[in-house]
Structure 1
């Protein structure tokens, strides 16, 4: 019960998965009830469940998906009923007819244009066959088959109408969430690396864990791209965007560029962890300890930037970009100190058996990506 109360508290208290779930259930219930009343009480349909079933089936997360999936679903149902009607009237209500209907319907269902609704071709054909064999006359058969299509159209229309008019989902925050998640992962990883460099506490187990964590961020990138796609998609045909005209929430070019920059940064950090993982020359850590301390200072400055990314909020983007600009300048200074330290220590930068050359290059590349990301956010904040 405590978990249930917390779940409902989150649903009522703030936007998120819980509130979206409650809203989707409520809208689905409303659409199904309206469709049932129309099909059963007003039309007196023989198979009234087709309407509420259709209304719930196409109640997608976004308005765009509702329209797309409803058009595909209607096309699949019409195709299935048409196959049954053609073969039923030509061959008759025989077992062979059912087999032919199944073969043709399943074949049409493989058509890529129908997408995930392809399986509904066979489903509609089978229901149509059941209706066809139970009808007593040719006129009754035609009427029942046509009624199936009518009920599906009613259900889809009601589902789309409810989704458009009752708090249509506007998922612009999905883009922010994906970037925040990536930034959190990057911040956590960098924040684990720089203290170990400062303390010269590098060992195979620790560097191996860093390498694995860096290589496992691909799934987070995929999730972030999905969130960005949903944010863009939720604006299509959504009437709520009219009340946000001129808002930065209706533009996602900046988020897309930030996401790409963070993805490149994660690849650079992964390359850094691979270099550290291959390094086993223990004595070098003490001989060039000043360089490692400078590198730790540089990575710590980058971690402060990632903390801002992890708290990205478009409503506060102006203040955050000013903070990022200051932090980027500080990180540039630490990178220059790092390069100067490498020169003073006369590091073996060209020795392929030691990581110093790669580390210096990776520092420059990381700084470029962070600077670019900060510049992108500053550019879009100034729009």
Structure 2
């Protein structure tokens, strides 16, 4: 029986929590996705923090040992490159904060006015763009350093305590970087693949909805409006794909795993980058196509649609949907087979693209009339085919380089 307030029984709630945790762990163990990356990051951060605590507390017997593990966790990033970059910025921020406290403290003493001046200068330095996300650490380090400075009784102790803060931060950053480099260094090839998959899936789903309507001759304003809206909403996917590609590319820098054969480095990302760029341009071209169709149906007047032309265009879009489907399952481990399949599909699409242009010429369609969509359809079919052919050629060259 459920609780009187309609709430879930405690044992049922606990069972549901354990079941969700079990599924999460199974996903982390089974596939190299978000769950596994998160688990690795947590375990590596724990290891780095523990090692830093051992060095700062047991070896150095520092009065403020927490600086080291805090620094180690702070710079544990998703890529080795980011760990190195953020550790350098963090060290610079802490050094600026500590040096400022030392200078102002010895000039003005540990009083309230000096603290206010420390806060003002620290927050101002933190706005320096070169420090990036670590800019706020200037003021944070300055506040901790000021409290340490104020608690010290002699000038020698003050200098020693401030220097020890820098040493602990250096130890934490060093251990964090070493752990990130040596313990399962993150290699985010899949981020590039995921970006390509999201773009190709969005493109494939859109043209898959379009070609049956064109084939059946059921084109109407409402459908065109929906297609245009969907095409215009792909900007977020493009941004995410670019970010995923950037993360994947960064994962190469300073990463020892790039020496392994399956991770050849620049060739992979040159290929993936070219494919992603081609898909981005294709989405923009499909958006132009949907705008033309929508504006056409917003107008008035008789429309003498050429049935053969629309049928041929539907066949062309269907061939693009098939290519997008293959790209949507892009996997480096199966790239050779996928490349051959893409080349075959690209040849078919090329033939259908030529049929579209030939049909338009034979029918004498008003390609130069801006009020009719035929000219835009012909132009965009050629451009779309060029982009997809380029993507297929790039992948084929990449496979040849990896062979």
| Residue 98 (str. 1) matches residue 108 (str. 2) | no
CA RMSD of the aligned region, Å?
1.8
- State the 1:246 CA deviation: 7.2
Deviation per residue, 1:132-179 (Å, 9 max, x gap): 111121111111111111111111111111111111101112111111
Q: Report the Cα distance in structure 1 between the residues aligned to 2:219 and 2:390, rounded to whole angstroms.
A: 30
SS across alignment from 2:260: helix
| Residue 230 (str. 1) matches residue 247 (str. 2) | yes
Q: Report the Cα distance in structure 1 between the residues aligned to 2:84 and 2:255, rounded to whole angstroms.
A: 11
- State the 1:3 CA deviation: 2.8
| Residue 206 (str. 1) matches residue 247 (str. 2) | no
Q: Report the Cα distance in structure 2 between the residues aligned to 1:42 and 1:96, rounded to whole angstroms.
A: 37
Question: Which residue of the partner structure matches residue 3 of structure 2?
Answer: none
Runs of 4+ in 1 over 6 A off after TM superposition: 281-286
Of residues 334, 338, 355, the one that matches 1:320 is 338
| Residue 71 (str. 1) matches residue 80 (str. 2) | no
- State the 1:129 CA deviation: 0.7
Question: Which residue of the partner structure matches residue 365 of structure 1?
Answer: 383
Q: Report the Cα distance in structure 2 between the residues aligned to 1:140 and 1:36, rounded to whole angstroms.
A: 22
Taking structure 1 as the reference length, the TM-score comes to 0.95
Question: Which residue of the partner structure matches residue 221 of structure 1?
Answer: 238
Give runs of aligned pairs for residues 52-67 of structure 1, distance below 5 A.
52-67=69-84
Report which stretch shifted further, 368-377 or 67-76: 368-377
SS across alignment from 1:252: helix
Question: Which residue of the partner structure matches residue 32 of structure 1?
Answer: 49
| Residue 300 (str. 1) matches residue 325 (str. 2) | no
Question: Which residue of the partner structure matches residue 42 of structure 1?
Answer: 59
Deviation per residue, 1:116-145 (Å, 9 max, x gap): 111111111111111111112111111111
Q: Is the 8 A contact 2:267 2:398 kept in 1?
A: no
Report which stretch shifted further, 128-137 or 341-350: 341-350
Gaps of 5+ in 1: none
Gaps of 5+ in 2: 1-16
Question: Which residue of the partner structure matches residue 9 of structure 2?
Answer: none
Q: Report the Cα distance in structure 2 between the residues aligned to 1:264 and 1:350, rounded to whole angstroms.
A: 23
Question: Which residue of the partner structure matches residue 184 of structure 1?
Answer: 201
Q: Is the 8 A contact 1:200 1:285 kept in 2?
A: no
Question: Which residue of the partner structure matches residue 6 of structure 2?
Answer: none
Judging changes above 3 Å, is the alpha-carbon distance between structure 1 residues 250 and 369 closer, same or farther for their aligned structure 2 residues?
A: closer
Taking structure 2 as the reference length, the TM-score comes to 0.91
Q: Report the Cα distance in structure 1 between the residues aligned to 2:119 and 2:265, rounded to whole angstroms.
A: 51
- State the 1:287 CA deviation: 4.2
SS across alignment from 1:32: helix
Deviation per residue, 1:290-312 (Å, 9 max, x gap): 22111111110111111111111
Give runs of aligned pairs for residues 76-155 of structure 1, distance below 5 A.
76-155=93-172
Q: Report the Cα distance in structure 2 between the residues aligned to 1:83 and 1:378, rounded to whole angstroms.
A: 57
Question: Which residue of the partner structure matches residue 161 of structure 1?
Answer: 178
Question: Which residue of the partner structure matches residue 335 of structure 1?
Answer: 353
- State the 1:41 CA deviation: 2.1
Q: Report the Cα distance in structure 1 between the residues aligned to 2:308 and 2:259, rounded to whole angstroms.
A: 57
